[in-house]
Amino acid sequence: MFVLFWFFIGGSWGGIENNAIRDYEIKKIKREIYLKDLIKQIEAEAEVTIPDYVEIKYVEYMYDLSKKLELPTRMVFRLVYKESDFIDTIVSPRGAYGFMQVMPSTDKLYNKALQLDTLKLDDNEKNIYIGMHILKDMYDYWISKGKPDSYSWKLTLACYNAGIGTVLYYNGIPPYRETISYIRFVLKEHSITTDLSTNNYLTNR
Protein backbone atom coordinates (compact mmCIF):
# COMPACT_ATOMS: atom_id res chain seq x y z
CA MET A 1 0.00 0.00 0.00
CA PHE A 2 2.79 2.41 0.94
CA VAL A 3 4.67 1.56 -2.27
CA LEU A 4 1.55 2.01 -4.38
CA PHE A 5 0.90 5.40 -2.73
CA TRP A 6 4.36 6.72 -3.59
CA PHE A 7 4.14 5.23 -7.07
CA PHE A 8 0.88 7.13 -7.60
CA ILE A 9 2.32 10.39 -6.24
CA GLY A 10 5.48 10.03 -8.30
CA GLY A 11 3.48 9.22 -11.39
CA SER A 12 1.25 12.25 -10.91
CA TRP A 13 4.14 14.64 -10.45
CA GLY A 14 5.89 13.04 -13.37
CA GLY A 15 2.83 13.67 -15.53
CA ILE A 16 2.62 17.30 -14.44
CA GLU A 17 6.31 17.77 -15.14
CA ASN A 18 5.98 16.18 -18.58
CA ASN A 19 3.01 18.45 -19.36
CA ALA A 20 5.03 21.51 -18.32
CA ILE A 21 7.91 20.45 -20.54
CA ARG A 22 5.52 19.79 -23.42
CA ASP A 23 3.83 23.18 -22.99
CA TYR A 24 7.22 24.91 -22.88
CA GLU A 25 8.35 23.18 -26.08
CA ILE A 26 5.09 24.09 -27.82
CA LYS A 27 5.47 27.75 -26.80
CA LYS A 28 9.08 27.69 -27.97
CA ILE A 29 8.12 26.29 -31.35
CA LYS A 30 5.28 28.82 -31.75
CA ARG A 31 7.71 31.62 -30.86
CA GLU A 32 10.23 30.44 -33.45
CA ILE A 33 7.52 30.26 -36.11
CA TYR A 34 6.30 33.74 -35.19
CA LEU A 35 9.78 35.26 -35.46
CA LYS A 36 10.49 33.57 -38.79
CA ASP A 37 7.18 34.83 -40.14
CA LEU A 38 7.93 38.31 -38.75
CA ILE A 39 11.27 38.45 -40.56
CA LYS A 40 9.62 37.40 -43.81
CA GLN A 41 6.89 40.01 -43.32
CA ILE A 42 9.39 42.80 -42.65
CA GLU A 43 11.60 41.84 -45.60
CA ALA A 44 8.60 41.76 -47.92
CA GLU A 45 7.24 45.05 -46.59
CA ALA A 46 10.54 46.95 -46.50
CA GLU A 47 12.15 45.26 -49.51
CA VAL A 48 15.44 44.82 -47.65
CA THR A 49 17.18 41.70 -46.41
CA ILE A 50 17.58 41.18 -42.67
CA PRO A 51 21.06 39.61 -42.33
CA ASP A 52 21.43 36.36 -40.40
CA TYR A 53 23.99 37.97 -38.09
CA VAL A 54 21.37 40.25 -36.52
CA GLU A 55 19.92 39.06 -33.23
CA ILE A 56 16.23 38.55 -33.89
CA LYS A 57 15.28 40.18 -30.58
CA TYR A 58 16.51 43.51 -31.93
CA VAL A 59 14.56 43.12 -35.16
CA GLU A 60 11.45 42.40 -33.09
CA TYR A 61 12.19 45.40 -30.87
CA MET A 62 12.51 47.68 -33.90
CA TYR A 63 9.24 46.37 -35.25
CA ASP A 64 7.31 46.67 -31.98
CA LEU A 65 8.66 50.15 -31.22
CA SER A 66 7.89 51.42 -34.71
CA LYS A 67 4.30 50.30 -34.20
CA LYS A 68 4.13 51.88 -30.74
CA LEU A 69 5.44 55.23 -32.00
CA GLU A 70 3.32 55.00 -35.16
CA LEU A 71 6.33 55.19 -37.45
CA PRO A 72 6.05 53.58 -40.88
CA THR A 73 7.62 50.13 -40.49
CA ARG A 74 8.90 50.09 -44.05
CA MET A 75 10.60 53.45 -43.59
CA VAL A 76 12.22 52.43 -40.29
CA PHE A 77 13.77 49.26 -41.63
CA ARG A 78 14.97 50.88 -44.83
CA LEU A 79 16.55 53.62 -42.72
CA VAL A 80 18.36 51.11 -40.50
CA TYR A 81 19.53 49.24 -43.60
CA LYS A 82 20.86 52.47 -45.09
CA GLU A 83 22.43 53.72 -41.86
CA SER A 84 24.19 50.60 -40.60
CA ASP A 85 23.24 47.56 -42.68
CA PHE A 86 22.00 46.19 -39.34
CA ILE A 87 25.55 46.14 -37.92
CA ASP A 88 25.26 47.23 -34.30
CA THR A 89 29.00 47.82 -33.80
CA ILE A 90 29.53 50.15 -36.75
CA VAL A 91 30.89 53.65 -36.03
CA SER A 92 30.97 56.42 -38.62
CA PRO A 93 33.99 58.72 -39.13
CA ARG A 94 32.02 61.44 -37.29
CA GLY A 95 31.30 59.17 -34.33
CA ALA A 96 27.71 58.11 -34.99
CA TYR A 97 27.20 54.57 -33.81
CA GLY A 98 24.87 51.60 -33.64
CA PHE A 99 21.90 50.41 -35.66
CA MET A 100 20.48 53.94 -35.90
CA GLN A 101 23.84 55.76 -36.16
CA VAL A 102 23.15 58.14 -33.28
CA MET A 103 25.69 60.87 -32.55
CA PRO A 104 27.19 60.80 -29.01
CA SER A 105 25.93 64.31 -28.21
CA THR A 106 22.39 63.37 -29.29
CA ASP A 107 22.64 60.15 -27.34
CA LYS A 108 23.53 62.08 -24.19
CA LEU A 109 20.70 64.58 -24.73
CA TYR A 110 18.02 61.94 -25.29
CA ASN A 111 19.33 59.69 -22.52
CA LYS A 112 18.60 62.49 -20.08
CA ALA A 113 15.37 63.72 -21.69
CA LEU A 114 13.83 60.24 -21.95
CA GLN A 115 15.25 59.09 -18.60
CA LEU A 116 16.61 55.95 -20.19
CA ASP A 117 18.38 54.95 -17.01
CA THR A 118 14.97 54.10 -15.58
CA LEU A 119 14.26 51.67 -18.43
CA LYS A 120 15.74 48.20 -18.56
CA LEU A 121 17.28 48.51 -22.01
CA ASP A 122 20.62 47.23 -23.25
CA ASP A 123 22.90 49.44 -25.37
CA ASN A 124 21.40 48.33 -28.69
CA GLU A 125 17.85 48.83 -27.46
CA LYS A 126 18.78 52.31 -26.22
CA ASN A 127 20.25 53.12 -29.63
CA ILE A 128 17.06 51.99 -31.35
CA TYR A 129 14.87 53.77 -28.80
CA ILE A 130 16.71 57.06 -29.22
CA GLY A 131 16.87 56.85 -33.02
CA MET A 132 13.16 56.23 -33.37
CA HIS A 133 12.27 58.98 -30.92
CA ILE A 134 14.41 61.38 -32.96
CA LEU A 135 12.38 60.45 -36.03
CA LYS A 136 9.12 60.86 -34.11
CA ASP A 137 10.16 64.23 -32.66
CA MET A 138 11.34 65.60 -36.02
CA TYR A 139 8.15 64.48 -37.75
CA ASP A 140 5.96 66.02 -35.04
CA TYR A 141 7.98 69.23 -35.29
CA TRP A 142 7.44 69.64 -39.03
CA ILE A 143 3.77 68.69 -38.76
CA SER A 144 3.38 71.37 -36.08
CA LYS A 145 4.84 73.87 -38.56
CA GLY A 146 1.99 73.10 -40.93
CA LYS A 147 3.98 71.02 -43.41
CA PRO A 148 2.11 68.35 -45.36
CA ASP A 149 2.50 64.78 -44.12
CA SER A 150 4.63 63.49 -46.99
CA TYR A 151 6.89 66.53 -46.97
CA SER A 152 7.23 66.31 -43.18
CA TRP A 153 8.72 62.84 -43.59
CA LYS A 154 11.13 64.14 -46.23
CA LEU A 155 12.21 66.95 -43.92
CA THR A 156 12.51 64.49 -41.03
CA LEU A 157 14.86 62.27 -42.99
CA ALA A 158 16.81 65.28 -44.25
CA CYS A 159 17.33 66.29 -40.60
CA TYR A 160 18.37 62.76 -39.68
CA ASN A 161 20.90 62.67 -42.50
CA ALA A 162 22.22 66.22 -42.71
CA GLY A 163 21.20 67.76 -39.37
CA ILE A 164 18.34 70.06 -38.51
CA GLY A 165 20.63 73.10 -38.65
CA THR A 166 21.37 72.42 -42.30
CA VAL A 167 17.69 71.94 -43.10
CA LEU A 168 16.78 75.21 -41.39
CA TYR A 169 19.60 77.00 -43.20
CA TYR A 170 18.26 75.92 -46.59
CA ASN A 171 14.65 76.36 -45.43
CA GLY A 172 13.95 72.91 -46.78
CA ILE A 173 15.76 69.84 -48.03
CA PRO A 174 19.46 70.60 -48.63
CA PRO A 175 20.55 70.25 -52.27
CA TYR A 176 23.04 67.55 -51.33
CA ARG A 177 23.25 64.52 -53.54
CA GLU A 178 23.78 62.24 -50.53
CA THR A 179 20.77 63.60 -48.67
CA ILE A 180 18.46 63.46 -51.67
CA SER A 181 19.60 59.90 -52.43
CA TYR A 182 19.06 59.00 -48.77
CA ILE A 183 15.49 60.31 -48.75
CA ARG A 184 14.77 58.68 -52.08
CA PHE A 185 15.89 55.28 -50.80
CA VAL A 186 14.22 55.39 -47.39
CA LEU A 187 10.88 56.72 -48.65
CA LYS A 188 10.76 54.71 -51.85
CA GLU A 189 7.30 53.22 -52.14
CA HIS A 190 6.86 49.51 -52.62
CA SER A 191 7.88 48.32 -56.07
CA ILE A 192 4.70 46.32 -56.41
CA THR A 193 2.48 49.41 -56.12
CA THR A 194 4.28 52.26 -57.82
CA ASP A 195 7.11 53.51 -59.99
CA LEU A 196 8.99 56.36 -58.32
CA SER A 197 11.31 57.27 -61.16
CA THR A 198 9.52 60.61 -61.62
CA ASN A 199 9.37 61.62 -57.93
CA ASN A 200 10.95 64.98 -57.13
CA TYR A 201 12.33 64.86 -53.58
CA LEU A 202 12.93 68.59 -53.36
CA THR A 203 9.26 69.49 -53.68
CA ASN A 204 7.06 70.27 -50.69
CA ARG A 205 4.36 67.81 -51.68
With a pLDDT cut of 90, the percent of the chain lying above it is 76
Residues 101 and 181 in one domain: yes
Residues 29 and 90 in one domain: no
Residues 86 and 186 in one domain: yes
Residue 132 φ then ψ, to 5°:
-70, -35
Helix (H) or strand (E) holding 164: helix 164-170
**pLDDT tens, position by position, 165-203:** 999 999 999 999 999 999 999 999 998 864 443 444 444
Query: Is 76 within 8 Å of 136 (Cβ atoms)?
Result: no
Residues 164 and 69 in one domain: yes
Q: Write out the residue range of the structural domain in which residue 160 sits.
A: 52-205
| pLDDT value for 72 | 96
Domain count within the chain: 2
Residues 9 and 85 in one domain: no
**pLDDT tens, position by position, 25-73:** 888 889 899 999 999 999 999 999 999 999 999 999 999 999 999 999 9
| pLDDT value for 89 | 97
Handedness of CA 34, 36, 40, 46 (dihedral sign): positive
Residues 33 and 64 in one domain: no
Q: What is the CATH number of the domain that holds 128?
A: 1.10.530.10
**pLDDT tens, position by position, 83-126:** 999 999 999 999 999 999 999 999 999 999 999 999 999 999 99
| pLDDT value for 14 | 61
Q: Is the pTM of this model over 0.85?
A: no
Residues 166 and 85 in one domain: yes
Residues 39 and 127 in one domain: no
| pLDDT value for 195 | 45
Residues 16 and 76 in one domain: no
Question: How would residue 12 be classed by pLDDT, with cut points 50, 70 and 90?
Answer: low
| pLDDT value for 11 | 54
Residues 189 and 90 in one domain: yes
141-to-16, 89, 128, 164, 188 alpha-carbon distances in Å: 56, 30, 20, 11, 22
Residues 116 and 40 in one domain: no
- Residue 11 or 157, more confident: 157
Q: How much is the mean pLDDT over the chain?
A: 89
Residues 127 and 200 in one domain: yes
